[in-house]
Amino acid sequence: MTPASLRQCRINGVLTVVAGFIWFFLLGYRDLIEPDEGRYAEIAREMLNSGNWITPRLNGFKYFEKPPLQYWGSAISMALLGETNAAARVWCSGLGFIGALWVGFVGSQLYGRSAGYFAFLFSISTVLYAGMGHANSLDMGVSALLIIAVGALALAQSVRHLPVQERNWMLLAWAALAGATLSKGLIGLVLPGGALVLYTLWQRDWALWRHLHLGKGLLVYLLIAAPWFVAVSYANPEFPHFFFIHEHFERFTSDVHGRTKSNWYFFAVFAIGAMPWLFSSLNGLIKPPFSWRAEAGKFEASRLLWVYAIFVFFFFSISHSKLPGYILPMFPALALLVGENMAKRKHFIADGIVAIVLASVIFIFFIWQADNTAKLGRLAAHLTLFRPWIIATAVLTGAAGISTLFLRQQKNLAISIFALCALLGIQMLSWGYQSISELRSSRAMAEAIQSYIAKSGKDIVEIYDVNRYDQSLPYYLGRTIKLVGFTGELEFGINQESQKWLNETDFMPLWLNSDQAISILTQTTYDQWQQQKIPMHTIYENSRYIAVARR
């Protein structure tokens, strides 16, 4: 290694540490956003407090929509750090950063140090990846584990002449596939498996299947993934049908979950999620770093990564259930394609222009048009609080773009500054969301309820959620609550243990005869109670709901 390259490696190392600091800084500052963050934090909290690590429960009801790996990770972090916002996010954020580091490592092994470093920077500073890396949802965990599997597969197939290394990388790939399955179910096998079949047909690399170490690999996979599925099925005979049929087949082929979107939905998600690297992202997909004409029999890592990214995108595009995070697994693979392309480019300007345009649009909208938008509904009282953070993001985005123009002869520095500014800008949006957190979080209400209970002198006060379920409320209260008239995603668990649930007819006598109780109401329900002169008095109110006490 030459002195110049050694110096560049040290600089890259320092900037990676800086990126890590920005990534994890103020991880617990923003309250948990409902529904996902509150839901997955509460399942982990209940798992930790009950000591039952086999049967996931949400607000006391069986909850089998997803496997338990993230719940386990979050529960362990809560045991170490307490039941905090940061503890609820450590698993996702940590895996997100590890996934980005892994992308950098794989890129450096396959394409060179510069390509790996650029792939790392791309990963941590795209809107979708960085945003999901700071949200307590399942998408980041499965995405990181899938890229570990796909990356290890690529490394293994690139050293077929070294049997021991090939075997070790493939065993890591199988272990990561098991982790992905324990994170979000069968897509942990379907996504890489489907991509591998399509890649083989295109590349005609039939030898690949002889180098997958299927026997040892499947053994590793089953030893890791199977025990929980066996244990939970034994403890809950109703699990297999609900999980494998309802949550996989019916979710993909029907509108049972009510998340139907246009087949073009993910094109918009991709365009926003790839910001501010949109040009490089499109370049990586439209002009990938390989020849469209395959050389039969030769392993082509870039082609495999491209097929995997495209397969993820179109697999979820044809699904009946769509949410933005579903296509997140394509971004780490795309990062490797972008990194390889970027290492070959002399300048880095086009994305800078995209960033400048994006910053200008943000400025124009939130300085001149935000007041008009704020007239829409409950956003009116909150937008002015969020505006400074959005402007800060616009400034950082513009600075990122301008830096690429001024430093166009110093590509490594330009890309580094661009990525760090973009990451900090995305973080600004995340931190700034705290100023309007009551729109999607129940922390403030939980604090008001806890304060009221403490003043009442009662050890136990029943808390009811009437015709609604506020996902983060149980987590911030540190206890489950009674649901009245609401089923939603808890319908399966409620049907299994209906004695824990109340309809409105059975609830009202309990409320009227209660010595002390608290209910959370919508404005409509509150108005109805007032008209019916049902006894209550308000202890907390915001734009979403009203908490009332019986006495």
**488-520 pLDDT per residue, tens:** 899 999 999 999 999 989 999 999 998 889 999
Kindly report the backbone phi and psi dihedral angles of residue 75, in degrees, each rounded to the nearest multiple of 5, phi listed first.
-65, -40
Kindly report the backbone phi and psi dihedral angles of residue 539, in degrees, each rounded to the nearest multiple of 5, phi listed first.
-115, -15
Residues linked to residue 466 through DSSP beta bridges, in sequence order: 484
- DSSP-assigned states of every residue in 397-450: HHHHHHHHHHTTT-HHHHHHHHHHHHHHHHHHHHHHGGGGGGGT--HHHHHHHH
129 within 8 A of 327, measured Cβ to Cβ: no
Q: Which sign does the torsion angle of CA 261, 262, 263, 268 carry?
A: negative
Kindly report the backbone phi and psi dihedral angles of residue 63, in degrees, each rounded to the nearest multiple of 5, phi listed first.
-135, 105
Q: How confident is the chain (551 residues) per 10-residue block, as mean pLDDT?
A: 80 94 96 95 97 97 96 97 97 97 97 96 97 95 98 97 96 98 94 96 94 97 97 94 78 58 88 93 92 86 97 91 92 97 82 83 65 51 76 89 86 92 94 88 94 82 93 96 94 92 93 92 93 93 90 77
Distinct helix (H) and strand (E) counts, the chain: 25, 7
- Give pTM, 2 decimals: 0.94
Query: Which pLDDT does position 499 carry in this prediction?
Result: 93
Query: Which pLDDT does position 376 carry in this prediction?
Result: 47
Query: Which pLDDT does position 138 carry in this prediction?
Result: 94
158 within 8 A of 110, measured Cβ to Cβ: yes
Query: Which pLDDT does position 1 carry in this prediction?
Result: 66
